[in-house]
Structure 1
Amino acid sequence: MSDPVAEKRARFRALHRRGIPLLIPNPWDVGSSRILQGLGFEALASTSAGMAFTMGECEGAISRDAALDHCRMLVGATPLPVSADLEKGFADTPDGVAETVRLAGGIGLAGCSIEDHTGDPDDPIFDEGLAVERIAAAVEAAHAVSPDFILTARCESLLWGGRDLDKVIRRLQAFEAAGADVVYAPGLRDLASIHLVCRSVSVPVNVVMGMPGAVFTLAQLAEAGVARISVGSAFARLVYGGLVRAAREVREQGLFTFAADAMDFASLERFFRR
């Protein structure tokens, strides 16, 4: 008898091919998951920020249990493989991170990401030794779940004032050596840097689009060697931005022109019919 979770994980691993980028958008609820499936995407990834926004919270304020419940909902929303943004693993210690990854594997996810951001704005990045130990523990837990469970290791320093690309690359290389299946350094701002990162590691590289100041085409990213492209919280922020603009038009101008941009019922419900 076939195992649908194992099949999704194997399919997800097979989609990671250098130079043929996997487009992996980031839904924030069941409806957005089904819309993205209906538009033909092959895999999905959660967004920790988008998840928090749906709960009326700031990123980083959601508990591990709430995050896993959210991811369980996304896994059940479509037949697509889903990877989870698990932030720092909801723990500082390697053992704590490993436990989070084991729990993530138990809800049918195809993969997850663990970052080296501490959650403390005054000391935002884990020291390299501890950061690598955390990824090594996460990798061991992930591959105990399944050989096809994809562990993505994230270096966050560029989002927290870091400017030393060589240091970022050294950390990504250390994550690769610790067994990470995919590496990811959000905040890369130019194609030359992206190309250098892709050349400097042998595992697939994820790049995030939708951040201000970094607008490249799929063809350009493929040429640079990117294996996976996500959008983080950008789709969720786009939707919330539309809501705020429409509500301000109503509240401040007494106008209702926003309705011209609203999707009609029939078109929207096509995505939701089983």
Structure 2
Amino acid sequence: MTRAFAGLHHADEPLLLPNAWDHASALALAAHGFRAIGTTSLAVAAAAGLPDGVGATRDQTLHLALTLGSEPFWLSVDAEDGFSDDPDEVAEFARELASVGAAGINLEDGLGPAGRHAAKIAAVRAAAPDLFVNARTDTHWLGDGDDDETLARLDAYQEAGADGVFVPGLTDPARIAALVRRLDVPLNILYTPAGPSVPHLADLGVRRISLGSLLYRRALGAALEAAAGIRAGRTPTGTAPSYEEIQRLSGRGASSPG
């Protein structure tokens, strides 16, 4: 695992990880002071016209990692369940991510067998030892949020070598704090506007806070609002980077507007 990226999970403040969906969004976030950027599988899938969470975007995910891996920020890649049930195939994908410069990988269990997910984590750890493995359980995302099952799965993933664990959908402060006390590795929580604030999550002991697909969905919502407003004769409000600013994100000067 890249030591500097791992260290961000043990700093005075939790790592707030915004999730980008392409080169421009990642570079724009980095330019605003975010030292680490994640990707969001929903946006990668949506851009390709494919469903999220069904293992359909292996190539697109690897291509995005190749695009972003050499940029001056730490990159954590959302790899769904590793795009395979075979731990060796997942390990090979992780090795490819590490080779193009990724510092971390996020692997979700999708409520499949905990033993199978643990085997994937162990295989990734052996194949790409420098990659920070963030092991996600979907007990609160897809399941009924049973605390005992959540802890049992996270214990198995820690034992398999996960560097951090992720429980999206968990928002109750008391349950978050209790889980922090039981874990040996940093806890990652998915931020939601209806849940605890970032300072509150920090006080609870959360060490990594992901934004998931929120920024992508907000951007799409803003585009729809602007288009509808223009059609209705209103002037769009809010911040919009200039054409030249977007061009500079790719290291190119301005040319004809597009």
Q: TM-score, normalised by structure 1?
A: 0.83
Q: Which whole-Å CA distance do the structure 2 matches of 1:202 and 1:75 have between them?
A: 29
Q: Which whole-Å CA distance do the structure 1 matches of 2:99 and 2:241 have between them?
A: 38
Mean Cα displacement is larger for which, 33-42 or 262-271? 262-271
C-alpha contact (below 8 Å) 2:186/2:208 kept by paired residues: yes
- What's the RMSD between the two structures over aligned residues? 2.2
C-alpha contact (below 8 Å) 1:154/1:184 kept by paired residues: yes
Q: Given the superposition, is the C-alpha separation of residues 55 and 262 from structure 1 closer, same or farther in structure 2, using an over 3 Å criterion? A: farther
Q: Which whole-Å CA distance do the structure 1 matches of 2:17 and 2:205 have between them?
A: 16
Q: Give the structure 2 partner of residue 265 of structure 1.
A: 242
Q: Give the structure 2 partner of residue 217 of structure 1.
A: 197
What letter corresponds to residue 217 of structure 2 in structure 1? R
Q: Give the structure 2 partner of residue 163 of structure 1.
A: 145
What is the 5 A alignment of 1:122-141?
A: 125-141=111-127
Q: Give the structure 1 partner of residue 13 of structure 2.
A: 20
Higher RCO (CA 8 Å, separation ≥ 6 residues): 1
Q: How far apart are residue 19 of structure 1 and its match?
A: 5.8
Q: TM-score, normalised by structure 2?
A: 0.88
Q: Deviations over 1:64-120 (max 9, x none)?
A: 1221001111224x3001010000000012222112111111111001011111xxx
Identify unmatched segments of 5+ residues in structure 1.
1-5, 118-124
Q: Which whole-Å CA distance do the structure 2 matches of 1:261 and 1:196 have between them?
A: 40
Q: Tell me if 1:68 matches 2:62.
A: yes
Q: In the comparison of the two structures, how many residue pairs are matched?
A: 250
Q: Which whole-Å CA distance do the structure 2 matches of 1:267 and 1:23 have between them?
A: 28
C-alpha contact (below 8 Å) 1:135/1:178 kept by paired residues: yes
Q: Which whole-Å CA distance do the structure 1 matches of 2:244 and 2:200 have between them?
A: 32
Q: Give the structure 1 partner of residue 76 of structure 2.
A: 83
Q: Which whole-Å CA distance do the structure 1 matches of 2:32 and 2:247 have between them?
A: 11
Identify unmatched segments of 5+ residues in structure 2.
252-258
Q: Tell me if 1:102 matches 2:95.
A: yes
Q: Deviations over 1:148-182 (max 9, x none)?
A: x2011110121113220221111111110111001
What letter corresponds to residue 158 of structure 1 in structure 2? H
Q: Which whole-Å CA distance do the structure 1 matches of 2:138 and 2:199 have between them?
A: 25
What letter corresponds to residue 106 of structure 1 in structure 2? S
Q: Deviations over 1:13-44 (max 9, x none)?
A: 12111662011111111111111111111111
Q: Which whole-Å CA distance do the structure 1 matches of 2:93 and 2:157 have between them?
A: 18
Q: Tell me if 1:35 matches 2:16.
A: no
Q: Tell me if 1:237 matches 2:217.
A: yes
Q: Give the structure 2 partner of residue 185 of structure 1.
A: 167
Q: How far apart are residue 250 of structure 1 and its match?
A: 4.5
